[in-house]
Every structure is written in C-alpha cells, then in structure tokens.
Structure 1
C-alpha cells in the first residue's frame, strides 16, 4: 500500500509543473477549479498526455459555490452543472476523483438533507455513466456544523450510492472541535476504496472551521503513523497556505516513518 502526497494547485502552468512535482518526489496534485471551471477539454487532454511521462495522481476540486440541498431548484441545477463540468474535464485529464462540498443543511433535518443530496448524486452518476466518463464523485468531509458532510454521513452515502469520498482530516478536527484519535480513525476508514484525502493545519471556533494553517508536524506524524500502521492506500492533498512546501515536508516525513 502507498501514501501518495501532493499539493492543492499547480501554482502555475499545469503542464510544466508536472515535471517539477516529480522532481520534488511528490506523487499527486489536485487541480483547483474552486472559482469556476475555465479549463478547456483540449487543455485537460494535453495535461493527460504530458502526465504519461510522470505518473502523477490527478484529482479535481470542483467550485466552492455549490449546494445540492438548496431551497432554490435553479441553484441545485447550477451546482450539478459545475460538478459535471468538473467531471468532464477530469475525464479528459485522467483525474479520477472529483471533490466537492455537497450542501448546507439549511432548514432541512440531517436526514432530509441526506436524502436530497443522495437523489442529486444518483442523477449525476447517471450522467457520468451515459457519457462513459472515468471519474468518481467524492463529496468531502466538511469543517462547519452547518454543512452536510460528517464522516458518518459520507460513509453512508458511499454505501448507498457507490460514490467515493474525500476525507479532510483537518475538517474532521474543526467540525468536532478536537483532534481526532488518528488510530481509531484509520481503523474506521481502512476498508474504503479510492481513498482520497486533504490535510492541513486548521483553526476553528465552536461553529467549526475558521481558516487553514501550516501543517503541524507533530500532528502530521501521528496521522501518517496511524495510516501506515493500518497499511492504508491513500492520496493526500495538502491544503495549507504553503501547499507545495508542506507537501514536500509531509512526503519526507512519510518516508522517514
């Protein structure tokens, strides 16, 4: 099993940066579509072709402006379009995991929100199947209690729809206002296939996530040790303010364990 580590965003020309990632010893990168899907299918295809030389694991973070449980049906359809546009680029790029923050609870109960998100997920999966896109939807664990995306909710969503999930370890800490028991968490997620994750330092209030911080090396070592102890195969994208620098640090730390 392997722990693949890389940054969120290329920080420049996506094609040229693939070689640099490999030279730094990194294994992955997440293409950031968080402000909108502006990349063409043609450019996505060129990235895929270049990546044949480097074998970097690619993923995509879909736009932030999503809510699959909105009271406004127009906003739901717009949200699905942004996710599906990301899926289309991901297919042409060779990026399998399409990560997104699925919804806010709003006036819905957690169960009502779950069912709403599930219905929209199933509709999007049907579009993916019809287009033969080789991608998997990966809703992310969220850092605020007002957001849909507790780990148990997403593991249930995975069981009921066959989707993947993205485990943001920092978000789990922020959502519950305490550092996770990494050993227990690693055991809980061990059986998940297509395991994709995010990591960073994080500050939070009683309501949850406030902002991302540099990686805490002590916490990072505990997390990596727990993942290795369970022999977990996982891709980990670093979302700290210094995403490239902390990714290199994390990779060196992982190799030292």
Structure 2
C-alpha cells in the first residue's frame, strides 16, 4: 500500500519532491491583525508581506491541530512519516504525536512515526528527501527511520534575516542573551543547535558580509560537501539566494543544490529578504 510523508507547512516542497506523489503539507495558520491565513496552496506571499508591513502588531502563528494530523493519516498508505519543524520552535511536533496516539487508539492498520526535524523550512525538506531515497531503496520502516534520524543529526541549518523582531516578539529567541543592534546594520548569522534551538553563530556589518560569513560557517562545520545537498530558501529575494548559491558553489562541490521560495510560516519568521540555508 506504499508510504506517505507529511510535512507541516513550514517545510517547502520543491517540484522534485512533489513529483514523487507521496508528500503532503499539513498547514499551520497565521494571524495578521484580525485575519487568519491558512498556510496551504492558497497562500499568497506578496499579499501576506504587504499585510504584515501594514500591521501595527506582530503576526502570530498556530500549529496544526491533532485532528488535522489524524485526518491526514486516513489515507491508503500503510507507512506514514511525519516531519515537523523543531519542537523548540513550535507545538507542531507535540500536536502530531498526540494525533498519532489518538489515531492508534482507534486503528492499528498503519505504521506511523513523527520526526522532530530539529530544523525548519528546507531542513524539513531534506529529511523528507532522505526518507524517499531510503524507501525507494527498499528499506524497512525501521531502517528508513534510522536513516532519517542519522541524516537529521548530521544536518546543519543557517539563516540571515533583515530583522529578527518577529522571532523575538514570538519568543523564539528566548535563549539568546544579546543580539546586535539593527541601528548599526549588524546582521547576526544564526543557526540551529543539535536540539533545534536557535543560536547566534557570528555577525557582520551588512547583509552581504553576513551571508558570506554564513557560507564560511557552513564549510567550517560540514567539512566535505561532495555527498551533500545544498538547500536554500528565500523570502522574496531570489537574486540574493542565487548569490549565496554561487558563492557556495565557488567554494565547494555538492551532490545537488536547489532554491525555493518560503511558504507562509517561513515567510512569517524569515521576513522580507531573509535567507535560510541547510546542508
């Protein structure tokens, strides 16, 4: 009966992954003033960014309900893999686990696992791609999980944003004691620690220098990249993302590389002009 991969909508699905026919987004929602925006195929990034720019209040996000996950489990697949954004940043993981437990109380027809990506955006995407690779290689359910978990532990997430205010106001930077002042145009180079918390790795004066330092950090931490896939997501700044890609490719060789535009939740936290890089 096959398998299915559910990714909460913080994770972007490039065409190469969508074409497999086994991947589905589970939408989070975003509140801007009195409007609730569902982060599904109807999401309009341009309109969303305009609404955020006009809003006097910080937009908020809400994770999928356990019932939303349970409904997605009602499919023909008998092996289901759920990949959520970091449990340190959202309740999506806990909601998926609760949905799994509730579903299994009524049914016993499927094998279901919920994987905390300890990342976000294209970090989730790369884990889903590894699951597809392992499934297509004919591995067992347990072996696929082991491959995905091993990949997750070796994954590195980085980002540079024009502003960290949305993350800060929504409590996603609570573990950071100090950040550079926006007034000085200092851009922190951010990343995820092994548990999925946001950490500051470096900083630079101006966006271009910060992106350069981000790429330098990546090569310092990852080492040999020849068997790695470089994934870049951007919020309304394709030219900037292309520059990061070319910079990385000038410094090393990758198995593959792709660029995607951010979905709703990633757009919310990356803000206009933000870049996320995962390898």
Same fold per superposition (TM over 0.5): no
Greater share of strand:
2
Give me the TM-score of the superposition, normalised by structure 1. 0.36
- Structure showing greater radius of gyration is 2
Give me the TM-score of the superposition, normalised by structure 2. 0.34
Greater share of helix:
1
